[in-house]
Structure 1
């Protein structure tokens, strides 16, 4: 069970109660913070408040009023703008000096855009995408990579530790999103390699669960092998990080690579392999379903 470092209770808001946001907001409440939540589907916010004893708000602006920290975890750039900007957006309700912490996997460009708007309004913005998936969110063991002002990061870091095992600043505004792109590039190639290894071993007549147990103690070991190898062998994919989400993330990666000139031949290829999985009806399958193309 997650244990929480004792810090002074803060007044916080959380916007977006999907598979990640719901447990993340829950950890903030369990750590003793006063939490107000907002979700586009109001029933989800009401259900969260009933479970954790917080308060549900009708708009992002209402949720953000009086909050020292406003956390968000929504779908994409446009979803983020919709909960931040405008008359009902969070920025309209935040007091001067408050910190907005965005856990959405979004573009570095939108992070910089919103950071500029925040500064003009006397607010702070930290881009803070996460790694660790739904299990990491549920267990409070996410890895959070952050970009933004150092003072704002220092203020939010101990609060975010309620749902994380590591919260690290990697640079100025947008750097958190760029670090998340590095993470997704590494994962894409690794999962494809693991899929090919398992498919090869199956064709060779090996007991692949035993083989994974053996090579998992050597240089081939990885989080993906430890947590997805056996389910890949069994053909189980109805869980985890969905292919649709990975393709969204890889789209951000490839867009950024076109801007900065990085060469990503393997990543571009794996992105198309995920398109093949979508064509097979695997939109909501876990990313480890790449192996389905090989069987």
Structure 2
């Protein structure tokens, strides 16, 4: 068992930190909203720190799951940031979906002082976090990964090192590129079926068992047909992720025409007032 700090108790971080406590790790949490941290402590076994720095002090591993590049820098750097309290030999594990650039910047800061950094973005959504079955894609040194992987296992279905620092974030970009195209295709298919007068659930029961099947189809078709989107991974966050994908594509000379198009479709959903809706709300743009 390890001494672990967890920074950021949103819809993902809250249950992830809970799984660490349930597995017997000694967990200290910190959140920018103290009330959220208090609610976590009331539910799970662990203590609450007053700052990211205080949470990191004495921890062997510090996990973070915050919002974006700027949030991550704020949590890590500065007098009250986690890096100020992180001991030599400790490993920082970042579960936030951010750019590979900020990942490499922060990893270099720690490497210069004998501390480790693993970029470890996750896939599986809120349900995956709550059920402890996330897919975790990691970047960093083999030694740091080998130390962190048994701790990450508390909430992972699968955890793999993809390569050096930044590789985890690049793999997460691939994940989001796939989801964007799949979700648009599923939206068009369900809207098409509705216009054609077919029973969407009956059709999905058949085609989900064939080559068209996907996680999105199995887990989202019923709520899409019911026009219910008040859950899951928000459109606002998906657009943040796709922005990272598109900027990185420009940097490396990759072409993402479908991703760029779907990103604009998500902008339409935002303009319709659906920024906090699940990403499956793409179907709202289409006549049914």
Distance of 1:21 and 1:231 partners within structure 2: 25
TM-score by length of structure 2 reads 0.99
Is residue 18 of structure 1 aligned with residue 14 of structure 2?
Answer: no
RMSD of equivalent CA atoms: 0.6
**Which string of whole-angstrom CA distances, capped at 9 and with x for unpartnered residues, describes residues 72-117 of structure 1?**
0000001001111111111111110100000000000000000000
**Which string of whole-angstrom CA distances, capped at 9 and with x for unpartnered residues, describes residues 197-240 of structure 1?**
11111111111110011111111110000000111111111111
1:165 counterpart SS class: strand
- Select which of 122, 137, 140 maps to 1:148: 140
Distance of 1:231 and 1:81 partners within structure 2: 36
Cα offset, 1:50, TM superposition = 1.7
Q: Which residue of 1 aligns with 2:198?
A: 206
**Which string of whole-angstrom CA distances, capped at 9 and with x for unpartnered residues, describes residues 141-194 of structure 1?**
000000001100000001111011111000000000000000000000000000
Distance of 2:169 and 2:202 partners within structure 1: 38
Contiguous gaps of at least 5 residues in structure 1 = 1-8
**Which string of whole-angstrom CA distances, capped at 9 and with x for unpartnered residues, describes residues 245-285 of structure 1?**
10000000001011011110000000000000000000111
May I ask how many residue pairs the two structures share in their alignment? 287
- Select which of 137, 153, 156 maps to 1:164: 156
Distance of 2:176 and 2:275 partners within structure 1: 17
Q: Which residue of 2 aligns with 1:215?
A: 207
Matches within 5 A, 1:38-57: 38-57=30-49
Q: Which residue of 2 aligns with 1:275?
A: 267
Matches within 5 A, 1:96-115: 96-115=88-107
Is residue 68 of structure 1 aligned with residue 60 of structure 2?
Answer: yes
Contiguous gaps of at least 5 residues in structure 2 = none
Distance of 1:107 and 1:191 partners within structure 2: 23
Is residue 247 of structure 1 aligned with residue 230 of structure 2?
Answer: no
Cα offset, 1:53, TM superposition = 2.1
Q: Which residue of 1 aligns with 2:225?
A: 233
Distance of 1:45 and 1:275 partners within structure 2: 33
Distance of 1:16 and 1:145 partners within structure 2: 19
TM-score by length of structure 1 reads 0.96
Distance of 2:43 and 2:194 partners within structure 1: 45
1:35 counterpart SS class: strand
Q: Which residue of 2 aligns with 1:81?
A: 73
Distance of 1:169 and 1:219 partners within structure 2: 28
